[in-house]
Structure formats: C-alpha cells, structure tokens
Amino acid sequence: MCPFRSEDKTKDAGYAQLCLSKYLDEAQIRKPAMKRVIIATDGGRQHFKLFQNMHFMSEQHILRGLKLWWLFFQSYHGEAVTSPTVCCRFAMSCKEQCSVMRIRPIAGKGPADGGGNWLKSALALACLAGVSISNVYEVFMYALRNLVNNKTTSNFNEGRYYYYVTLYELAEYRSRMPAEVKGSLNIQPGKTDGTGWFFWASTDTAGQLVQRRTACTCDACYDNAFDSCSEKDHDQLQDAWFNEPRVNELTVSTATQGKSLKECRRSAKTAKRDDVMAIRAGEINERTHVNDESVAGLVDVDGSDSDFWLCVVVERFTTVLEAAGKTVEGKHLQRKDEYLVVQWLELIEGGNGREYELCDARDCIWELSAILPVKKLGRYTLPSSERMMHKARQPYQLTQVAKKALDALA
C-alpha cells in the first residue's frame, strides 16, 4: 500500500507521473530483479489516458531498462481510488523476489479501498488519543512513524510505503514536461472505432509504443513479441485480427510547459474579464516579432522583486482588424496583432509575500509569449464605477500552490 500525500489538488498527468517516478526510484532498490512494470488504472482523460503518459512510459523504459505495460479499465467517479479527487493513491503490491511489479488501483470496494479506510481509521484513533494532526504533512509524518510496520505478512496491506509530494516538486516537474505530445494514432474511441485502445506497451525505441484493444498474457505477448501472439488465429473479426498490435509514433515538442507560444496563446484566448493572469517579468512591449516561436524569451528586468507579475484582465483577447492598425493604451498595434488589456496588481510590502493590491496602471499585452499559463489564479473583480474605485477592498491572495507553479515556470 503506497498512499501519496500532497497539498496539491490538481491530480493531472504531472502528478501521476511524479508519484510513479518516486515509487519506481525506491522499488528498483528494493527489487533489483524487477524487469517489468504493469500499471492498471481507469481511463481518466485528465490524468491517465493521455499522450503525455505514453511519452512518460517511453522515457522510463529507456531510462530504467524496464518494460512498461499500462492497462485501462472503465472509469469510475467518487468511490474509485482513481477518481480525480484521489488519483494516484495507488495500491501497489509485489513479492520481493518477483520480476514484475503490478500497480493496480482497485475500483469500487476492494483492497485499495480497504487500505484507505484502514489508514483513515488509524488516523482517527490517533486524534482521539490526543495526537495533533492538522495538515497533510503531519498525516504523512504520523504514518511514517507509527504505521509502517505490520505484525503479519498475510493481509492486503502487508507492504506499506508512504510518500509526501511537495508543491515545489510538483511545480518543478510540471514545468519540465513537454508542452505538447502528439501520436500517429488515436488513443480514444472514434466514430469508426467505438471500442478504443485499452493497452499500451513501451518498446526499446524512444517515442514508440504499441497499443492494442486489450492485453494478452500468452508467452509471446509477455515477451513483447506481440506480432507472434498465440491468439491471433482465434481472434478474427470480419477477416481481420481484432486485437492486432499497432505502433504509435509520438511527436514531442521541444518547448516545455508554460513556455510555448501555443500554450500561452491558448491561455490568453480563454481569459475573461476580471481573471487574474501572470506575466513573465521582462521588458514587455518593447520588442518586435516576439510572437515568433524562434524568438528567445523576454529579458529580465533589473531589480525586479519577482520572476512574474500579476494583473487582472480588463479587455479580453482581441485581434486588430483595422487595416491602418490601432493604438491601445499608448501602444500602436498593426493589423492582425493579438492583444489583451490588463490592470496591474502590486505586491503589498510587509505582507506574507502573496498579498496584492490593485493599482491604477493599465497596459496592453501583445507579446503573448510573456503570459504564464498557470490555471486557478482566480478572479479579482475590477471596480465598475468611479464611486466603487475609492471603496476599501480586500487584497488579492495568491495561493501557495499557484505561487510554487509560477516560480517554477518563470
């Protein structure tokens, strides 16, 4: 049983990959004979069934010399250990002498669900006994000190390994992920293929994976010789091999997350009025052709207290249509230039480092590559009249999760 604890609640592909990486690092020390990793999850598109994870599998195969299989089952909600709210609370089990490690979240009522209930019961008893447990880290430390050893080796939670995933680790890992991963084949059910693909296997070639409709445990397939599957002659549908293996070639962008123009532009287009955005600290509005992918990043401002600035969207993403161009907030824009207008938030001195107040300065942002596409920065309602402009307002509070993500990307 391997619960992962973190204050971060964005259970995305980055979170899943980092949890798996942490476990594999220690598992290879405990089980040096391990040659294969079998992962069984639901088909959640938010955190599991993604091209990003196919890329992760390929990387791990090359890096660790392990064969990776990923099996997908039907998606559950709420009760499953693979639901978005508790994704990656994997139930991992394997005898020490085995060469195969199975990572198997059990949906519904099963061993993994029982493991979670057992842990919650142990924590509840500790609190009743007077132990102070008030946050995620204290949960992790109590489990590490008191819930590791087991008197028996016959029950489902005989092996207990606890992990704490920090906000900075997650932010740093996500910032290094490729901005975009594409495949030569579809991985989701399409109009002409309603069954989908529920099995992936890594190969010795970087960026190349095999996908099939279902897994097969014949000797040939177990050795990754899928074309020699013993079930081939018996698995025919309309004179075609139903579970025929197909090679999916991945194309991985060189830009990392948060620094590709495509991702920054997508963030700009979805921003609404009063949304809080982050801008990479630099000499904005002073360069030409900065929306070109080949142009280097912005130049840092000397003496800047932060690697990013915060602002509130005043005017949403707009494209200049006038042939002669137009002037916005003192900046002359040409036809087809894309921009948005923002009002800056200023860091409050002497605060906790995450409190901001609205200032009067507005600016036109047309270098979309300056935007840091970090989600969940929230909203800060701009005053709608001159009368409300002088009314005392609560400062904007930047969450710790968002600050870690911004620091890593900036």
Cβ-in-10-Å burial (0-12, 13-18, 19+) of 354 comes to middle
Domain that holds residue 278: 261-409
Point out the domain boundary residue: 200, 222, 253: 253
| pLDDT value for 105 | 44
Point out the domain boundary residue: 230, 253, 276: 253
Alpha-carbon span 299 to 286, nearest angstrom: 10
Alpha-carbon span 138 to 132, nearest angstrom: 8
Q: What is the pTM of this model?
A: 0.68
Residues 94 and 227 in one domain: yes
Do residues 187 and 197 touch, judged by C-beta distance below 8 A?
yes
Chain center to CA of 378: 19
Residues 224 and 150 in one domain: yes
DSSP 81-119: TTSTTTTT---EE--TT-SEEEE-PPPSSSHHHHHHHHH
Residues 119 and 169 in one domain: yes
Q: Which amino acid is at 393?
A: R
Read off φ and ψ for residue 175, nearest 5 degrees: -70, -20
Residues 295 and 397 in one domain: yes
> pLDDT tens per residue, the chain (410 residues)?
667 888 877 778 888 899 889 988 888 888 888 888 888 887 777 778 889 999 999 999 999 999 999 988 765 543 433 333 233 333 333 333 334 444 444 444 445 556 677 788 888 999 999 998 888 888 888 888 888 776 655 555 566 788 888 887 888 888 888 888 999 988 876 666 556 678 999 999 999 999 998 888 888 998 899 999 998 888 887 788 888 899 999 999 887 766 677 778 888 898 899 999 988 765 454 444 444 444 433 333 333 445 788 999 999 999 999 988 899 988 888 888 889 999 999 888 888 888 998 888 888 888 787 888 877 788 898 877 654 555 557 889 988 888 887 887 76
Do residues 13 and 50 touch, judged by C-beta distance below 8 A?
yes
Residues 246 and 297 in one domain: no
Query: Degrees (nearest 5) of the Cα angle 325, 328, 333?
Result: 35
Nearest residue to 333 (alpha-carbon basis) of 343, 342, 323? 323
Residues 248 and 314 in one domain: no
Point out the domain boundary residue: 225, 253, 281: 253
Residues 182 and 325 in one domain: no
Alpha-carbon span 345 to 310, nearest angstrom: 5
Residues 245 and 287 in one domain: no
Strand partners, 328: 331
| Number of structural domains in the chain | 2
| pLDDT value for 217 | 81
Residues 228 and 321 in one domain: no
